[in-house]
Amino acid sequence: MKRSIWIIGLVAVLFTACKDKDAEKKIAALEARLSELEGKKPAPVSVTPMDNPVPEPDTKPEGPLPVIQFEKIDHDFGTIPQGKEVSFTYKFKNTGEAPLIIQSAQPTCGCTVSDYSKEPIPVGGTGFVTAAFDGKAAGMQNKSVTVTANTWPKSTVLTFKAMVTPTSEAQGPAK
């Protein structure tokens, strides 16, 4: 009995001392322990995950959606000399049931610059995403551009590759 009074007093102190989520969790745990000590079935404790919310997976939106259909999603520039800038334009069509809006076209590195259709693409309309690559680093290069739009799924990854051969200037003076 003394233990119950002590726990109730502690709960009262915690309740009046602080209104944060940790205190609420402690109070709920103490109330459950009190019920256990008194031989009662503990009441279900409802704890909301506000401190460390787990992001919910994206769900498909309701209603008509645009569909981005690329002619191709990968490109091979072949062999290019070091320092050469090349670009490729990925063309697409909106085959969905709503206007398509590209929100971003994010390249994987600074040597890749992208451009894309900024205006909404109507149903049946066409658009583009351009990837420009500066082949400064020699060797096999595999890069990508992630296109985010109001489609489902929200992103599409476009890829390209190039074999960048070193130039005689990049190799240094001949010995």
Which residue is listed with tokens 């205190």?
23
**pLDDT top residue among 113 and 171:** 113
Q: Where are the domains of the chain?
A: 2-37, 68-171
- The rounded distance, in Å, linking the Cα atoms of 86 and 50 is 48
Alpha-helix runs per DSSP H in the chain? 2-17, 21-37, 168-171
43 pLDDT more than 90: no
Extract the tokens encoding 160. Answer: 């390209």
DSSP assignment of 151-172 equals: SSSSEEEEEEEEEEEPPHHHH-
**pLDDT top residue among 21 and 15:** 21
Q: What is the pLDDT of residues 117-149, one digit of tens each?
A: 999 999 999 999 999 999 999 999 999 999 999
Give the confidence band of 167 by pLDDT, cuts at 50, 70, 90.
confident
Q: Considering the chain, what is the average pLDDT of its residues?
A: 81
Strand partners, 81: 165
Give the confidence band of 18 by pLDDT, cuts at 50, 70, 90.
very low
Task: Identify which of 135, 78, 130 has the alpha carbon closest to the alpha carbon of residue 102.
Answer: 130
Range in 13-27, 89-103, 110-124 the model is least confident about? 13-27
What's the confidence (pLDDT) of residue 142?
95
The arrangement of secondary structure in 68-171, i.e. its CATH architecture, is Sandwich (2.60)
Task: Report the phi/psi class of residue 124: left, alpha or beta, with left for phi > 0 and alpha for psi in -120 to 50.
Answer: left
**pLDDT top residue among 44 and 36:** 36
- The rounded distance, in Å, linking the Cα atoms of 65 and 121 is 12
Write down the pTM of the prediction: 0.64
162: exposed, middle or buried (Cβ count in 10 Å: 0-12, 13-18, 19+): buried
